[in-house]
Amino acid sequence: MKIGLDVGSTTIKSIVLDDEDQIVFQSYERHYSQITEKMTELLTKIRKEVVCGKDAKLTVSGSAGMGVSETCGLPFVQEVYATRIATGRLLPETDCIIELGGEDAKILFLTGGTEVRMNGSCAGGTGAFIDQMATLLGISLEEMDKLSAQYEKIYTIASRCGVFAKSDIQPLLNQGARKSDLSASIFAAVANQTIAGLAQGRPITGNVVYLGGPLTFLSGLRHAFDTALKTTGTCPENSLYYVALGAAFSSEIEIDLDTALKNIASYGNTGNFRSIAPLFQDQAAYDAFVERHSRCKAPRGDFKTYKGPVFLGVDSGSTTIKAVVMGSDGQILDSIYRSNAGNPVPLVRDYLLELYKVRPDLRFTAAAVTGYGEELLKNAFNLDFGIVETIAHFTAAKRFMPKVDFVIDIGGQDMKCFKIRGGAIDNIFLNEACSSGCGSFLQTFANTLGYSIEDFAKLGLFAKHPVDLGSRCTVFMNSQVKQAQKDGATTADISAGLSVSVVKNALYKVIRVSSAEELGRNIVVQGGTFLNDAVLRVFEKEMHVDVVRPDISGLMGAYGAAVYAMQKSLRREEGSSTLISKEELENFKHEVKVTNCGLCNNNCRLTINIFAGGRRFIGGNRCERPVTKRGNGGADLDLFAYKLSKLQSYVPVPAGSRGKIGIPMCLNMYELLPFWHTFFSLLGFEVVTSPLSTRELYIEGQSTIPSDTVCFPAKLAHGHIMKLLDAGLKTIFYPCMSYNIDEHRSDNHYNCPVVAYYPEVLAANMPQLKNVNFIDDYVGIHRPRSFPKKMTEILNTRFDGTFTLKEVKIAAGAAYKAYEAYMQDICAKGNEMIDRARLEHRQIIVLSGRPYHLDPEVNHGIDKLITTLGAAVVSEDVIAERTKKQPVDVLNQWTYHARLYSAAEYVATQADMNLVQMVSFGCGLDAITTDEVRSILEKHDKIYTQIKIDEITNLGAVKIRLRSLFAALEQ
């Protein structure tokens, strides 16, 4: 008989074939990191019940099987090769295989050249990711699958990393989004991530086969892939076992199973793993540590007997709900810390009713709420104040350390760190790309190893040899933990090592400190994760400083909200809170409706929460129209909105004598459209532009994107080309441009390499362009004298010599004038907005970046978020015109960067202006510019705010940044 073992990252699969290659035994089960134990158990069962003591041919495969096979002398076959062997035997007509495992994702192309694409640095979009999302929704995988079939709306959910997905899902849950819609949205996100991240431009066509546990068990996930690929894939019989089948088919060497079992049982006790120094040398050191931190206690009071003003603070976090009832001297009278189960509303209602049950005479003086669910709870219960998280935590920290200069808060999936300067928040750090430094990181491992988080944390305190795990993606670190276990690391060693990883992720991935002194010496730590003594000890050792951890570390957001409510109540005349009464709580109702807005082209899917008494909260809106009913949503002081409307005014001139020509609205076309629209219209073309970017447009082009790390604006270009092709355009113009127009404010005037040459990437990776006239020639509009001659040559080559130099010169002259008129109009409108903002005493935010950050799908409505906070929004090109055109003291060769430097220099001199910079993920030039802009502004004590932009931008983090900026300006 032939035995095939597939030892994966989370499961172990086995197949036994008889001499006619028929399956006589199969099994599929999770190994919970106990790999050798499960292998021993499984092979023992096969030896006794199937093989019956005889020798058999055995081959091992799988991501976790190589180490075992090498050490124990067992034949091994690589899992991709095993999959190919099994598919070749059972499904020879297959063109492409998509396989999702616990931590692995693979696409195997079998025709047109065999090639495999696998996930590398991140495990987002795999089975473990889907498990995490089901846990967040509070449902089983089976329920998630059933619910997904009932969806009505697909939300944009990020699947590249769990932190983004959670940050997308939690606000939707708090807004009352249906779990059926969220389930389908998660599956759609996984499909899109797999296709965009792994296919990377290679078309997935022909007969597609789905393999692996997630695609086998979840019909909704298969439907999401079918929808994204516009095909109907096949999930074959025994789809779970194709690697094991391939291993069994490959088995040629007879193995003595008794010897193999002995070797496997002895595997993993080498003690050969990297370790670091223990956290505590002995019990005495730990006792001194505990005694020092036990001194930092919040005052307490007796809720039952207290007489006086009472204040309520609520922190509706990403995974938990915290509340504090506080007296007039800051004493805590009562508190809760609970999981929010995806909906904080009923939990807050139940808690308030519990308070009234104990004190029927209770009357709150003021109540405030902070966190993800701030707006929802404020509307549900008519709380007096909403407060941004950073201010709530800072307010609480000052109660324990008045001269605090750095606060770090690590929660379940969020990390907030902020520097204090001059009594105000000066700089904010948020985890925007990874959740591996947060509490859920430890929670996941504790659960995997069968411990509660409290017991797991205690194990690491006195570990003799903490494992050096470094700092990596939560899911991928599973593999390192497993390897350490095989090499003899104890659970205590792993617990201590993971605590070290949490701290290193916080310091070196999120905050990115270069030295301990950089953060300050007066540090307050808070958040539930710092209740873990091991994490706190590592932080102090890494920072070489004793920090303050309040005994209410996990309640600091709620406590800060309560203090804020008390401070605010002293400034108003009325003496009691607007919080709903006991009677209203008893009759409380919460109804959720889903509808489309329809007030503009965004057509936002709105979640309407309706509460007793007529109060309601609307979520899902990109602007304030559904809430305020204002027609322009603040666009009258939003230069981004004006620019966009101006570009949309360039409509096709119908019935052009030379036919239609398409221009994709992407990258530099967001500034050069007036030039090219005028140029081609005068030459007799009907100029057709692609529509505004949308999520659907991005998805349509994602299968042709060759790089997962290129910036999001470039990725969108593929969708814009597809839209022009779908519209039947036979000629598309998108030239390569090494240089931009010279504005005489820098050493040179290059375009970013991606902007300059992305047309070549499109031509090479979009086979659809081979059937049209795609004009991607090198063009230089920075040289007005030579441009007409060069352009005439290009057009005559592409259109059989029908253009004269004279008519091209006329068109070019008009194009340059149109571009200049457009830029002058934008500048005039920006100056008008600045003047009006100053008359109305508004803050002016210079929302800076590059022209294509005007794209609504790129900026995610950040300009609208700012205007709803009461500020005017202008762009850096307008501000740059207010400065002298002289080079700054940096290597300055990029047109758009030069504008940023000039704008930063001007903003630094203006009391009512602040700069918010949008930076694209994957853009190295943005990183260079960021450092220079920061240095210019910080010299003048200006608060610098940076927002990272990608298709998976964490809008929750963006809102926190912006609201914190305005709160800091108020301070």
Confidence of residue 178 (pLDDT cuts 50, 70, 90): confident
Q: What is the mean pLDDT of residues 779-807?
A: 90
For residue 293 the two structure tokens come to 């931190």
Q: What is the value of pTM for the model shown? A: 0.73
Contact present, 436 and 472 (Cβ < 8 Å)? yes
Which of the residue ranges 47-51, 99-103, 341-345, 875-879 would you say has the lowest mean pLDDT? 341-345
**Residue 772 above 80 pLDDT?**
yes
The Cα–Cα gap between 504 and 441 comes to 13
Burial of 587 (0-12, 13-18, 19+ CB in 10 A): exposed
Q: What is the pLDDT of residue 213?
A: 86
Quick check: 264 and 67 in contact, CB under 8 A?
A: no
- Residue 730: φ, ψ to 5°: -100, -15
The pLDDT score that the predictor gives to residue 550 is: 92
Angle at CA of residue 925, ends 924 and 930, nearest 5°: 100
Residues contacting 581, CB < 8 A, separation 6+? none
Q: Which of 7, 230, 213 is nearest to 98 (CA)?
A: 213
Residue 50 CA to residue 864 CA, distance in Å, equals: 67
pLDDT band at residue 159 under the 50/70/90 scheme:
low
**pLDDT at residue 930, as a whole number:** 74
pLDDT for position 331: 94
CB atoms within 10 A of CB 886: 10
How far is 832 from 637, CA to CA, in rounded Å?
A: 9
Q: How many helices (H) and strands (E) does the chain have?
A: 36, 29
Alpha-helix runs per DSSP H in 341-452: 344-358, 374-381, 389-400, 439-448
Report long-range pairs for 923-927 (Cβ below 8 Å, ≥24 apart): 923/711, 923/752, 923/754, 925/752, 925/894, 925/897
- Asked if pLDDT for residue 389 goes beyond 60, the answer is yes
Contact 949, 921 (CB under 8 A): yes
**Among residues of the chain, what percentage have pLDDT more than 70?**
86
The Cα 486–Cα 836 span in angstroms is: 68
Cβ distance 817 to 807 under 8 Å? no
The end-to-end CA distance of the chain, in Å, is: 76
Cα 684 off chain centre by: 45
Q: How many CA atoms lie within 13 A of 194 on its CB side?
A: 34
pLDDT-derived band at 448, boundaries 50, 70, 90:
low
- Cα(88)–Cα(79) distance, integer angstroms: 14
Q: How far from chain centre, in Å, is Cα 852?
A: 21
- CA distances 613 to 343, 580, 583, 591, 592, Å, are 20, 10, 12, 12, 15
* Domains, the chain, ordered by start: 1-91+236-267 (3.30.420.40), 311-401+559-586 (3.30.420.40), 406-547 (3.30.420.40), 640-823 (no CATH), 825-970 (3.40.50.11900)
In the chain, the largest separation of any two C-alpha atoms, in whole Å, equals 95
Query: 695-736 pLDDT, tens per residue?
Result: 889 888 888 888 877 888 999 999 999 999 999 999 999 999
Burial class (CB in 10 A: 0-12, 13-18, 19+), 266: exposed
pLDDT greater at residue 239 or residue 165: 239
* The pair of three-digit structure tokens given for residue 8, joined into one six-digit string: 């994966």
Q: CA 565 to CA 314: how far, in whole Å?
A: 10
Q: Give the dihedral of Cα atoms 934, 939, 945, 946; nearest 10 deg.
A: 0
Q: How confident is the model at residue 662 (pLDDT cuts 50, 70, 90)?
A: very high
**Residue where the block lists tokens 């134990």:** 37
Cβ atoms 257, 58 nearer than 8 A? yes
Amino acid occupying residue 863: D
Give the whole-angstrom CA distance, residue 530 versus residue 437.
Answer: 12
In one-letter notation, the amino acid at residue 377 is L
Neighbour order of strands in the sheet with 385-386: 332-339, 320-326, 311-316, 366-371, 385-386
Vertex 806 angle, CA 803 and 810, to 5°: 105
Q: Mean pLDDT in the chain? A: 83
Instruction: State the pLDDT confidence band at 817, using cuts at 50, 70 and 90.
Output: very high
pLDDT digits 0-9 by tens, 26-81: 998 877 667 777 888 888 888 888 877 677 888 998 877 777 777 777 889 988 88
What tens digit of pLDDT does each residue of 581-624 get?
Answer: 888 888 888 877 767 776 665 566 677 778 877 777 777 665 66
C-alpha angle 466/469/474, rounded to 5°?
125
Residue 30, pLDDT score:
79
Q: Which candidate, 421, 429, 561, places its Cα nearest to that of 961?
A: 429
Partners of residue 733 on adjacent β-strands? 775
pLDDT confidence bin for 498, thresholds 50/70/90:
confident
Give the Cα separation of 690 and 97 in Å (integer): 33
